[in-house]
Amino acid sequence: MAGVVVVFDFDKTIIDVDSDNWVVDGLGATELFDHLLPTMPWNTLIDTVMGELHARGKTLHDVAEVLKAAPIDPHVVSAIKAAYGLGCDLRVLSDANRFFIETILDHHGLRGYFSEINTNPSRVDADGRLRIAPHHDFHSGPHGCGLGTCPPNMCKGQVFDSIRASVEADGGKKRFIYLGDGRGDYCPSLRLEREDFMMPRKGFPVWDLICENPGLLQAEVHPWSDGKDLEETLLRLVGRVLVEEGNLLPPMDCKQELLPVVAVQDGIPMPLGVKS
């Protein structure tokens, strides 16, 4: 296995929308959502809206059918499969929830490519209602991150630290590639090391935060704009690591010719402002 761990955010990274908003809009709860939004934390809000939808007669099947229609770029699907085929360990780190994520990944045949999903837990209660809980129980106390960009229910930086510690305890030093778009993805970007790579979605909140003071990051920053860009950038970086580690590229269906060439071309680190 390659010494590369790829950590994906989910909303607006793997899929091209926010899964919470997609379900709320798809099941006709937008007005309720907008009314409650100023009154409670996001994670609590989604659980509350799920309860109201259940009271209106919407079933778990209805929720799942809306989720299955969430748009995902074919290039992202291809990138996940190709990175897995190259021996990467793929993880999800998301502020969505387990039911939403697993339903979408299952629908696209992608769940088996990920070794771990880190997100807000969900369950179905005795009445058949979907319940969504916070990853961190902020009612019992804050998670302690003072950065100011993490929501109360999840500090992705702390979760990322746990992922790194677990991975390296099992198999020694690894290089990480982190992909994300939102404010919550900024904290883990600051915890990446010099040998790692950050892939922020260009024009989204995490990109704006990074651009405010790029010198705060140790990792190289490689932005992306859409699914095609994500695929090309991710596989270029994976190929580069494989070349640097002296590993031969394993056989692949679709990227066998491309990867070794672009990996060598990308072998010299470039300043943040030069990358595109």
Among the listed residues 9, 47, 95, 185, the single catalytic one is 9
Residue 95 annotated among the catalytic residues of the structure: no
Residue 9 annotated among the catalytic residues of the structure: yes
Among the listed residues 11, 20, 95, 185, the single catalytic one is 11
Of 151, 143, 12, the C-alpha closest to 20 is 12
What Cα–Cα distance (Å) separates residue 34 from each residue in 17, 134, 256?
Answer: 18, 20, 48
Q: Which residues are catalytic?
A: 9, 11
